[in-house]
Each structure stands twice: as C-alpha cells, then as structure tokens.
Amino acid sequence: MACSLETKRRQLCTALTILCLTGCSIHRMALKSMGDALSRASDEYARDEDPELVKAAIPFSLKVMETILRDNPRDQTLLLNLTKGFTQYAFGFLLPDAEALDDKDKVAAKAIRDRAVRMFIRARGYGLRALEVKHPNFGSLLAADPKKAAASLTRADVPAAFWTGAAWGSAIATSRDFRMLPELPRMESLLERVLTLDDSYDAGAVHTLFITYEMVRLKPNGDRVALATKHFERALALTQGKQAGPYVTYAESVLTVEKNRAEFERMLHTALAIDPAKDPDDRLENVIMQRRARWLLGRVDQLFPKK
C-alpha cells in the first residue's frame, strides 16, 4: 500500500510538473502569437484611410506590445515596432495637434509637444535596444565614437537604425533643448549609415527626412538647398511620385526658406492631387500628409508675408 501511495505521489508530481511546463510553454506561445499579430497591425494601420480611428487605436497596441516585451525583452520585431509605432504616433498625431493649438493656447500646445518628445525618446530607447540584440553595448559605443559604431551596422540593421535615428532627430528638433545638441552626431551617423547601406528602405524615407535635415544641419556639407533638392529628387524616384510626403516636406523645409510662394503652392497642390487609393500600403501616410498640405496652404499668408 505504501509503495502504491508513493508511486501515485510521484506520478502526481510528475503530472503537475509537466502541466506547469506545458502551461509556461503555452503562455510563451500565446504571447509570441499576440506579439506577431500586433506587429502586423502596423501594416494594417498604414492601409487605413481614417487617421482618427488609427490615432485612437495605436496607444492600446503600443501598451500591449510593451506588456508582451516584458516576457520577451530581446524580441527584435517587438522592439522595432515599438520604435516605429511611438515615432509615428508622435509625429503623425501629437505634433499636428500641438500646431493646431499654437495660435489659440500656447500652454496646451507646449504640453502636447513635451509629450511628443517623451514619445520620441521612448522610441529611441526601444530602437537602441533592438540594435543591441546583435550589437552588444551599441548605445555606449555610439556615444563614444558615432561613426565607428554606425559602421558596424549591416543591411539587416537598416530598419532599426532608420527609426532610431528618426526618433532621435525628432526628439532633438521638437524639444528645442540645446542640451540635446551634443547627441546630433549619433543620430546623424545612424541615418547616414542607412543612406550607405540601403537608401531605398521604406521607399526612400531617409531621403525625405534628409530634405529637412540638410536645411538645418549645423555643419552643412555644401549648398543646403542643392543637397536638399538632391534628396527630394531621389525620394520622388523611389516613391514614383505616389507619396505626398516628399512634396510637402520640400515645400515646408526648402521653399519657405527660399521665399518661393508660387512653387510652394504648386508643390502642395501636387501633393493634394495624389490619389491615396492608388497606393494602398501607404494610404494613411498620404492622407496625413495631405492634411498637412491643406494646413500649410491655409497659412500661406503667414509663411510668405507681403513686404
């Protein structure tokens, strides 16, 4: 009897152990499956035509991904999508909200900008973590020698490098905090490495970003307008003229500086003439950038005051 009871006790312990292990495995599989689904959701958001719907949905997705990341802290897909998600949310939704309030409530506008900066910095942190999965201590190496650290990146690192650099640059520009200026070489090195490795990534998004950056770079490598125009032309080639972003960015970043109102208006109307339905994968971006084009046209007298 004693032997039989002992045998049953061992069998019960074994069964419980297997159940626990199986339960943990199922838990991890469920989290992995959910994480993959949420990562794919960003592609679905990009195809949507309703910015307000996506604006309301993104925070929930980001928080769930952060929760899953706690159990999978080195999941590069989650880290990349958090970097991309927080950057896009801040740039596509928070900053326009702040600009819309600028003329009405500067205190409220500043509060939203401060929140956007926090989102950008959060994105940058996830991006550096994504890069450190394959490049240990990359953040420290980047701080010590930006160009050398960036040179260690490969083509496979381009998505994380681009979105980390985009988040970093946006944080610096939006914060208007001079204490962040020493970080510019790190951001710059990441984005220049993207240009070297794969300038066609995400339909040449890095070129659209450099349209703006060439106009404000502390140490220009030549004629600012000529460099920005070169990036604009490359962006148009890579997007085949189907995206409003390059037109809007060039109008806002270059033509306002050049004080060329006629070309500014022509460029924005070109952006508005694009049919978002013809590029479904980037429908949301086009809708958002066309919204910005209309906003800029509504401010044309302020941007180009009569003498």
Please state, in angstroms and rounded to a whole number, the distance separating the CA atoms of residues 194 and 184.
16
pLDDT tens profile 84-121: 999 999 999 999 999 999 989 999 999 999 999 999 99
Q: Which amino acid is at 272?
A: L
What are the backbone dihedrals phi and psi of residue 260, each rounded to the nearest 5 degrees, phi first?
A: -105, 85
Token digits for 38? 């949420």
Percent of the chain with pLDDT over 70: 86
pLDDT at 21 over 60: no
Q: What is the largest CA-CA distance in the chain?
A: 105
Give Cβ neighbours of residue 290 (< 8 Å, ≥ 6 apart). Answer: 244, 248, 271, 272, 274, 276
Instruction: State the pTM of this model.
Output: 0.88
Cβ atoms of residues 69 and 75 within 8 Å: yes
pLDDT tens profile 132-144: 999 999 999 999 9
Local confidence band at 20 (pLDDT 50, 70, 90 cut-offs):
low
